[in-house]
Structure 1
């Protein structure tokens, strides 16, 4: 499947990311303190043995088991003390060991290995036994032109019919790049490039591929583009070719390639700067029965321009387009100005054509000077396959997979410098990144990637060791919805076994939708209420006025999280939704209670987290209670209390999303619930969530014991004060009614005469004393201008 021109705009990054060491993506690691720089990998034909070129050693690893990597044999191959001492005079001591950079099969019983060997490259024949338990070195020979001097220089090597074809540098300073052939026998002489005209311009070799139908080997590298007359050196990516039947010219180009030609690989979107630095390449053979022209090359590219800094792109190139470019016109080199031109000239010979070693001297001189194709090789479908702004991809391997619907899909495994492996499927409407696996924790300076199609395994070689992981682990998807939403062509849902299984052969009953990921269509007949994993229930104890943050794991980066509360609306004034899908709020009596988070993707919703937020001082209830709000969305079949000490999370084997939740567009509480929040629907069955014999998420109201005591004491005090005031007022009124206004009290009352007492006890009795009128007790006013005195001549004792 090839992506269209707008693929870079429409690719979807689902990126399910299992934590390192989780069963979702089991990683098998091999490493040892005395084994480093395990970056050159070679896989045996049966896939049971992995040969590794490391520092000062060649290893044979048994990888036949799925859960282990074991060392079967180690061949030590290190420089002598004298070699290290001489190397230390011209280079850093850390670069002087023997770093194995070439490891190839010569035949079924021999390997050929080359290493830097203290900046003096050496090669050796290695005998490997049939059971791969023994490695034995036969002889050592000079490796100049077959292996780089510097361990940091990149190179490429491939063997065809027992002969070694390499792309590397042939001198200590790295100024003589060569593409050469070695180990020829009889008339098969060793060949290399004629560097008199600069056939290569400071190249960085990436990879090489043999195409049997053409008997050609293609080399991929980047170099300085001399055809561009810029102030700054412009780096271009190249593909070059040579024929394996080439034996050099008879007089012209003796022991030199007569079939060498090169062309530019252009990984560029319309209107944008090109991604001109190739990082890695892998070829995808044509499907069974298809022509060799359908062979595709997938390359990872970066850019030298700062505007594209930190971005990487993936482009695919077809063998048919490469052939067409090499069959076209070639640029002409002006020997005086050393400038390339594109003027059309008469072809004396076809550069890159096999069999030119028998051509005339005039023809060989023509191909010697015209080796740069005029046209560039553009991406297949004229569009970029993928552009990443987050990951700097460095390695790629590709595989064609047959899905359950018998359609073929292309799957890419992309390794980034930061240690993540992205599994990607190419679709008609774009690119879908299925998952992300963290292979190593810290960035590695060098790494390699190897794919074993028969064993369905990916191997990653790093500076610290070798990591092995399966191309797919379908058991990680534990529901039909997750299995379909993954859109993984390796995996499909088996309704009979109620599990996500690996696709193998013709299995028409499997449920899968790689192109659309439509859960409703794929899983409706398969029943959504099937085997599930334990739910992520959690109890959160907080203090009042404490900031609470609830996390909600997403099904993928394409999903969105939805938070709900029973009989309540999440107001924006009280709750803050975080970018990672979490929920933040301040703990108050109004915000305590149950919370549920659901992840929605492609019209399907799944419960991801359940929380009960309660106050720390709240006592835990001793009997389980049910809550109906959650069971409206979960169909429980069994409540399981797992034995063992310590608190446990929700154990809900059989608790699955309700079928109603699968409908497109469903989010949050149902309309009936919103309209009648006080009377939620009754559940089909009570659901109790337990921890150590106690209900974990049973709804329990917050405790106000301390507040109740304080309020009660204040209420009693207020009531006492009120009673006291009432009694005082009543007593005061009684005394006011029985005592004469302005009269004396106490002992002066006994001194009044009977006439005075009778006058005071009357209703309206007035008397004139000293010319003033004095009213009785019920009078409205008294004359206070005169002097009041008792009948006995004394001043009355009038209280104030």
Structure 2
């Protein structure tokens, strides 16, 4: 079997071994412009491609590299972002003409700022593509004025605006990873702006140290005096016909000055190894998309530094999925201090090193080593082992969302425990906030920050200010890291499982957790409402909201006036996307023969005397139940008599019906409904409707009806009087018919005839019984009583009311 067949068989077997994937569902979703999640945006028709972000140390100024411009945005205020200063830096007409003559699109020829780094306390170093002829300059950070002379940007900034690069400045020196030629065929990791005895360094192009890489990010570790670069590239160590892509981490020492004879002006401390984002026998996620660093907790060693990366897969079995893996600095250092592979220059095959170890590749201080040691590290730069993720498992795995960028933060909860929070940007324009827990990631919320497509975007987290900046092709969006005020009860605050938020019993509000506060209700790990909210001294209404209802009474709710045999559809708002909705009837059950519970949580049924009455929509999440909606279905005063509806017709009508036929309409997601003047409002806690959503109780539409009040039980005195009158009339009619029959029998006895029809035991003929059988016919049409032969009613305060006898305008 050749290499191609072996690779295909391996992929197929690993796909079969891959376990079932669970969905990563955000608990709450906020559409763009939602009042429940207020964002601040900056955009201008004169500014585009605002994707290179640099935040000042005080968090009050955001420097943005855009197309043909560098911006200084004032981000001090929560509700506004305004432009403080703008530096125009665009190519001349001659430069644009030359770019077009090279065969490039006109839209790709402007100057796209791709490098923006603080050089010192007063200046910023900026580089741009500049019509496929990169240039760099010094910019004053306060006035945003540019120096008159510009530097050539080759090797510091990419030519193509769509090529990825990374850069970091350490002690006034620029370390970059990009491509150094027009066609993008010469990848390079280099150092620039060196002064004194230090010289600029780069990789040796003839050694094949990099194989068609895509650079993702870089990070400086001061204690190690090393810079780590993250990228993906083609793996030549695997002997496959198809190109196999792997993710890499490489290192160089900032003290490196190159060799004296061997590796002059070249790195002597370069080494690389593979990052393996894989769980068990699953297919690996081998293409890194973004990376962010999480410094160690206070008092922890530097080896506890974590690197979080987003990975996708080139395998068809993992297509469309994203994974997040974390790697510990101690594990990376351990791999770099181990064995290295060696490349046979004749066969271009990699193998384990068997010769004697002359030097330690990647070790700082090798620039003073002998030529023999430098030749050894020149050929031994690929570590033999791979770096595996922390715990040898994935931190996050999503089959529904494709993530492109991330930012990571460590948050201290109310219980003084530390939680890791990830901000993940999806390709579809949502920002997910996820907290990492022992049983898996919990997505607290998702916020739409832009409408796709956005080909270029970036993410910047300000931990001191508690905000996330999202840069896109159209502008900059500021997203607060927490949204505690959205949760209006202790139950909702605890169910969010947001380590930023806790319920304060003093202010009776969900507030941000800080070190000065104590006694906040919070349960990030379990989300147990009863345990968390009972641990603090709170009134029942404040703990669980105003909707903890007892089904032993008949609560007031929304009146739904219907006609008999009409299809009714009652909507049920969801408390969150993780909750489950269910319906209940006080003192009755919902038979599957009469009711349809649809996928959207709504309830559909045919209006009959047995289905009229109260309905409660309940939401259950993590063992906590709350009432979301209350309906009272009643019959109209002058009902029509349509034909009976079959169950098949009920399904068809329920699918086409938008909701209950009442002026209430459907449930909006964010805005409160606007009731008419004849509508009364009853406050009911809901999750989707917002903080103070209202359920409406309509005034009666027909004369002579009493309004639906918040009383314990409905009042049917008028209906009882009407039924009593009808009963008296029926009894009078029955007496008259009976008297007429007796009179006819008396006449027949006094005047007998031949061939007379036979009489029954009570002396009546079949013709005489026809008027009496009309009542039996009505009983046959009505059918037997429901629920085991007993009339179904609604029990309120111990009183049983027959739903057929006490309903208004029931046809006789």
For normalisation by structure 1, the TM-score amounts to: 0.78
Counterpart of 2:55 in structure 1 is 43
Give the corresponding residue for 1:529.
541
Q: Could you tell me how far apart the structure 2 residues matched to 1:546 and 1:20 are?
A: 38
1:30 aligns with 2:50: no
Q: Does 1:319 align with 2:329?
A: yes
Is the aligned partner of 1:406 residue 2:416?
Answer: yes
C-alpha separation between the residues in 2 aligned to 1:384 and 1:466?
A: 31
SS in 2 for 1:517: coil
Aligned to 1:333: 343
| Cα offset, 1:354, TM superposition | 0.9
Q: Distance in 1 between matches of 2:105 and 2:191?
A: 31
Superposition pairs for residues 88-127 of structure 1, below 5 Å?
88-89=100-101, 90-127=103-140
2:206 corresponds to 1:196: yes
Structure 2 distance, partners of 1:603, 1:58, is 52
Contact 2:193 2:200 (C-alpha < 8 Å) held by counterparts: yes
Question: Aligned pair in 2 of structure 1 residues 442, 643: CA closer, same or farther (>3 Å)?
Answer: closer
Map 1:334-373 → 2, pairs under 5 A: 334-373=344-383
User: 1:558: how far off?
Assistant: 3.4
- Residue number in structure 2 paired with 1:519: 529
Which structure 2 residues correspond to residues 554-569 of structure 1 after superposition, within 5 A?
554-569=574-589
The change in CA–CA distance for 1:564 and 1:256 in structure 2 (over 3 A counts) is same
Residue 498 and residue 181 in structure 1: after superposition, are their counterparts in 2 closer, same or farther (change >3 A)? same
CA contact (8 A) 2:229 2:250 kept: yes
Counterpart position of 2:683 = 652
Q: Does 2:488 match 1:457?
A: no
* Distance of 1:8 and 1:443 partners within structure 2: 31
Contact 1:13 1:558 in 2 (8 A): yes
Measured in 1, the distance between the counterparts of 2:562 and 2:96 equals 64
- Are the structure 2 counterparts of residues 354 and 618 from structure 1 closer, same or farther at C-alpha, using a change threshold of 3 Å? farther
List aligned pairs for 1:12-23, cutoff 5 A.
13=25, 15-23=27-35
Paired position in structure 1 for 2:88:
76
Q: Where do 5+ consecutive residues of structure 2 fail to align?
A: 1-17, 548-555, 640-672, 688-693, 701-706, 755-812
Deviation (angstroms), 1:10: 8.0
Aligned to 1:217: 227
Asked if 1:551 corresponds to 2:562, the answer is no
Aligned counterpart in structure 2 of residue 598 of structure 1, from 618, 621, 624: 618
Q: Cα offset for 1:63?
A: 0.8
Structure 2 Cα separation of the partners of residues 22 and 500 of structure 1? 19
CA RMSD, Structure 1 to Structure 2 (Å): 3.6
Give the whole-Å Cα distance in 1 for the aligned partners of 2:458 and 2:106: 24
Unaligned runs of 5+ in 1: 1-5, 620-641, 658-686, 742-800
Distance 1:508 1:8 in 2: 41
Indicate the SS of the match to 1:267: coil
* Contact persistence 1:158–1:164 (CA under 8 A): yes
Indicate the larger mover: 522-531 or 89-98. 522-531
Quote the Cα distance in structure 2 between the aligned partners of 1:94 and 1:649: 58
Structure 1, 12-21 or 41-50: larger mean CA deviation: 12-21
> Residue 440 of structure 1 corresponds to which residue in structure 2?
450
Residues 616 and 421 of structure 1, relative CA distance in 2, 3 Å threshold = farther
Larger-gyration structure (1/2): 1
Gap change, CA 1:216 and 1:466, over 3 Å in 2: same
1:472 to 452, 466, 482: 482
2:794 alignment partner in structure 1: none
State how 1:567-716 maps to structure 2 within 5 Å: 567-614=587-634, 646=677, 650-652=681-683
Distance change (3 Å), C-alpha of 1:251 and 1:643: closer
- SS of match in other structure, 2:541: coil
Structure 2 CA distance for partners of 1:87 and 1:498, relative to 1, 3 Å: same
* Superposed CA offset, 1:138-176 (max 9, x none): 432221111111111111111111111111111111111
CA separation in 1, counterparts of 2:199 and 2:753?
A: 146
1:532·1:656 contact (CA, 8 Å) conserved in 2? Answer: no
| Larger deviation, residues 32-41 vs 263-272 | 32-41
Q: CA deviation at 1:21?
A: 3.0
Q: Is the 8 A contact 1:128 1:136 kept in 2?
A: no
Q: Distance in 2 between matches of 1:186 and 1:542?
A: 89
Work out the CA distance in 2 between the residues paired with 1:740 and 1:573. Answer: 55
**Counterpart in the other structure of 1:680:** none
- Paired residue secondary structure (1:94): helix
* Shift, 1:603, TM fit: 2.2
CA distance in 2, matches of 1:696, 1:92: 70
**CA 1:557 to 1:735, structure 2 compared with 1: closer, same or farther past 3 Å?**
closer
Counterpart in the other structure of 2:153: 143
Q: SS of 1:17's equivalent?
A: strand
Q: Is 1:388 matched with 2:398?
A: yes
C-alpha displacement of 1:51: 0.9
SS of the residue corresponding to residue 529 of structure 1 reads helix
Map of 2:274 onto structure 1:
264
How far apart, CA to CA, are the structure 2 residues paired with 1:739 and 1:548? 60
Question: 1:616: Cα distance to partner?
Answer: 6.8
Deviation at 1:735, TM superposition (A): 11
Cα pair 1:246 1:259 within 8 Å, conserved: yes
C-alpha distance in 1 between matches for 2:223 and 2:416: 27
Q: Is the 8 A contact 1:7 1:429 kept in 2?
A: no
TM-score (norm: length of structure 2): 0.77
What is the aligned partner in structure 2 of residue 60 from structure 1? 72
The answer as to whether partners of 2:557 and 2:695 remain within 8 angstroms in 1 is: no
Over 3 Å counting, the alpha-carbon distance change for 1:27 and 1:590 in structure 2 is: farther
- Number of aligned residues: 676
Question: CA 1:529 to 1:33, structure 2 compared with 1: closer, same or farther past 3 Å?
Answer: same
- 1:462 & 1:45 partners in 2: Cα distance? 22
Judging changes above 3 Å, is the alpha-carbon distance between structure 1 residues 194 and 482 closer, same or farther for their aligned structure 2 residues?
A: same
Structure 1 residues 562 and 688: CA distance shift in structure 2, 3 A: closer
Taking the aligned partners of 2:362 and 2:188, their CA distance within structure 1 comes to 17
TM superposition shift of 1:86: 2.2
C-alpha separation in 1, matches of 2:753 and 2:127? 130
Aligned partners of 2:451 and 2:334: how far apart in 1? 44
